[in-house]
C-alpha cells in the first residue's frame, strides 16, 4: 500500500503541502486530481524518495513502477532497448508481448527520437508495467493519447496491477481519467 501521513513540504519559503494525507490500498486505484501547481507531482516525488520530507511519514513499497510526467526515455535508443533497460533477460518475452499489445512491434527498432509523442508515452507506460513494481504511479499518463489507446492501457493496468492487488496512484488534472480505471478521486489543492 501507499500511505502518506501528515506530510508538510515546502520549496524554500513556498509551502506546497500542509498536513497532507493519502492512502492507496492494495488493488485500489486513487486519482489525485488537482489544477496545475497544486502539488500533485510533489506528492509523486515524495513517494519516490526524490524529495526530502520535512514533516510526516511515508510508507511505500520498495519497488515502484512509475510513469513520469515527462517520458524520461533514452532518446537515442530504440523502443526495445528502452523497455529492456529496466528488466532482466528472462523477462524480455513479457516485454515483447506488451510491445505487441500496445501496437508498437513494427516500431520496436525505431529510435525514440523518431517516435510521436503518443508513441513515446506508450513506451514509457510499457516500461513501467514490465518493471513489475509492487505499486504503480502514473503522472499524467494519458497525455497525447486517443481514447482507444487510453482504453487499451487502462485494461492492461487493471490486469497487471489492480487484479494482482497492487495499488495504483493516478495523478492527473483531467477528472474524466478516473473513469478509465474506476479510480477513487481525491482532490489536492496545495496547502489549502
Partner 1 sequence: MIYTTKQTKESILKKTIKILSVAAFWIFMWEAVSRLAILLNPNMQLLLPGPFLVLKKWWEIAFTFEFLKAELLTLARVFFGFFASVFIGALLGFLTHISKLAYSLISPILKIIRSVPVVAIIVLLYIFVKSNIMPTLIVGLMVVPIIWQTVNDGLDNIDVKLLEFAKVYQLSYIKTLLRIKIPSILPIFISSCSNALGLAWKSGIAAEVLCKTNNSLGVLISDSKTSWDYDVTYAVTLNVVLLSIIIEFLLKFIVNKYLIKNGGAVND
Please report how close the Cβ of residue 175 comes to partner 1 at its closest, in angstroms: 27
Do residues 142 and 178 touch, judged by C-beta distance below 8 A? no
Per CB under 8 A, which region of 14-22, 62-70, 89-97, 168-176 contacts partner 1?
A: 62-70
3-state SS of 132-163 is CCCEEEEECCCCCCCHHHHHHHHHHHHHHCHH
Q: In what order do the strands lie in the sheet with 29-33?
A: 64-67, 135-139, 168-172, 29-33, 184-187
Please report how close the Cβ of residue 138 comes to partner 1 at its closest, in angstroms: 13
Do residues 101 and 159 touch, judged by C-beta distance below 8 A? no
Rounded CA gap, 169 and 154, in Å? Answer: 13
Please report, as residue ranges, which positions from 32 to 61 form the binding site for partner 1 (by CB under 8 A). Answer: 48-50
Please report how close the Cβ of residue 167 comes to partner 1 at its closest, in angstroms: 16
Contacts of 157 (CB under 8 A, 6+ apart): 129, 136, 138, 168, 181
Per CB under 8 A, which region of 15-23, 74-82, 151-159, 161-169 contacts partner 1?
A: 74-82
The site map against partner 1 for 100-139 (x = CB under 8 A) is -----------x-x-----------------x--------
Per CB under 8 A, which region of 67-75, 156-164, 166-174, 176-184 contacts partner 1?
A: 67-75
Angle, CA 124 vertex, CA 57 and CA 185 arms, to 5°: 50
Please report how close the Cβ of residue 182 comes to partner 1 at its closest, in angstroms: 26
| Out of 11, 57, 72, 164, the residue judged to bind partner 1 by CB under 8 A | 72
Site for partner 1, rule CB under 8 A: 48-50, 63-64, 66, 68, 70, 72, 74-77, 85-86, 111, 113, 131
Amino acid at each position: 500500500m501507499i500511505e502518506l501521513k501528515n506530510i508538510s513540504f515546502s520549496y524554500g519559503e513556498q509551502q506546497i503541502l500542509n498536513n497532507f494525507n493519502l492512502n492507496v490500498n492494495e488493488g485500489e486505484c486513487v486519482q489525485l486530481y488537482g489544477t496545475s501547481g497544486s502539488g500533485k507531482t510533489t506528492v509523486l516525488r515524495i513517494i519516490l524518495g526524490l524529495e526530502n520530507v520535512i514533516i510526516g511519514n511515508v510508507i511505500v513499497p520498495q519497488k515502484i513502477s512509475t510513469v513520469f510526467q515527462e517520458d524520461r526515455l533514452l532518446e537515442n535508443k530504440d523502443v526495445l532497448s528502452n523497455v529492456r533497460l529496466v528488466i532482466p533477460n528472462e523477462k524480455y518475452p513479457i516485454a515483447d508481448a506488451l510491445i505487441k499489445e500496445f501496437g508498437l512491434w513494427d516500431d520496436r527498432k525505431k529510435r525514440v527520437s523518431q517516435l510521436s509523442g503518443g508513441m513515446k508515452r506508450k513506451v514509457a507506460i510499457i516500461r513501467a508495467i514490465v518493471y513489475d513494481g509492487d505499486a504503480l504511479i502514473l503522472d499524467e499518463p494519458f497525455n497525447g493519447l486517443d481514447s482507444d489507446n487510453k482504453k487499451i492501457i487502462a485494461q492492461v493496468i487493471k490486469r497487471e496491477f489492480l487484479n494482482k492487488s497492487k495499488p495504483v496512484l493516478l495523478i492527473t488534472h483531467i477528472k474524466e481519467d478516473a473513469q478509465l480505471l474506476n479510480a477513487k478521486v481525491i482532490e489536492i489543492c496545495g496547502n489549502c
